[in-house]
């Protein structure tokens, strides 16, 4: 639904990280290291969930396990190679990955329960929705000020004005 093009995952990941960095400046009590690391890793599981372009389809593993769970597996495979990696940091980053969709209905196995997790969730949601609106506007072939009805967002979207 968003960033579905070559380079899109990298673009989305960097957008989420930049938004989270801004959150840490506005809210200095958000732990920068945990939040930024989690932002950079939140969608790492997508590299195994989706096949390469141009096919870009869900893999069997992706369909059965999903990028959130795959992401935690990838994280843990690398952490296990770091001697004495602190469990508390591991749990905090795992939690951010597991909760980044924000709700159980949207696919998160757990709800965000830390400030860093809610920051990552909101940054992820902002990047995804703004990009999806932009793509809907960009792909609309109509000539008026509104897109056609968008079934994903259950509304028409007003096209930006150039000032």
Q: What share of the chain is helix, strand, coil (3-state, %, to 5)?
A: 55, 5, 40
pLDDT computed for residue 3 by the predictor: 81
The single-letter DSSP state of residue 160 is P
Q: What is the DSSP letter of 148?
A: P
Q: What is the pLDDT of residue 46?
A: 95
Residue with tokens 């905090």: 92
Task: State how far the Cα of 85 lies from the Cα of 36, in Å rounded to an integer.
Answer: 18
pLDDT under 50 in the chain at which residues?
none
Give the whole-angstrom CA distance, residue 110 versus residue 127: 21
The pLDDT score that the predictor gives to residue 6 is 81
Please report the pLDDT score of residue 53 as a whole number.
76
pLDDT value at residue 47: 94
The Cα angle at residue 78 between residues 77 and 84, in degrees rounded to 5: 105
- What pLDDT does residue 86 have? 98
Q: Which helix (H) or strand (E) holds 40?
A: helix 32-41
Q: What is the pLDDT of residue 161?
A: 75
Q: How many CB atoms lie within 10 A of CB 108?
A: 18
107: left (phi over 0), alpha (psi -120 to 50) or beta: left
Task: Determine contact, residues 154/142, Cβ cutoff 8 Å.
Answer: no
pLDDT at 73: 98
Within 10 Å of residue 26's Cβ, how many Cβ atoms?
A: 8
Tell me which H or E stretch contains 21.
helix 8-26
């Amino acid at each position: 639904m968003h960033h579905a093009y070559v380079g899109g995952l990298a673009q989305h990941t960097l957008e989420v990280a930049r938004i989270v960095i801004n959150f840490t400046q506005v809210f200095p009590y958000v732990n920068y290291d945990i939040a930024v690391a989690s932002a950079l890793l939140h969608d790492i599981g997508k590299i195994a969930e989706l096949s390469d372009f141009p096919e870009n389809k869900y893999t069997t593993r992706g369909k059965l396990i999903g990028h959130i769970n795959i992401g935690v597996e990838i994280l843990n495979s690398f952490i296990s190679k770091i001697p004495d990696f602190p469990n508390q940091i591991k749990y905090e980053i795992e939690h951010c990955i597991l909760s980044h969709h924000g709700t159980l209905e949207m696919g998160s196995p757990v709800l965000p329960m830390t400030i860093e997790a809610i920051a990552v969730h909101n940054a992820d949601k902002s990047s995804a929705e703004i990009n999806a609106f932009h793509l809907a506007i960009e792909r609309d072939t109509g000539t008026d000020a509104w897109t056609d009805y968008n079934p994903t967002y259950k509304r028409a979207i007003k096209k930006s004005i150039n000032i």
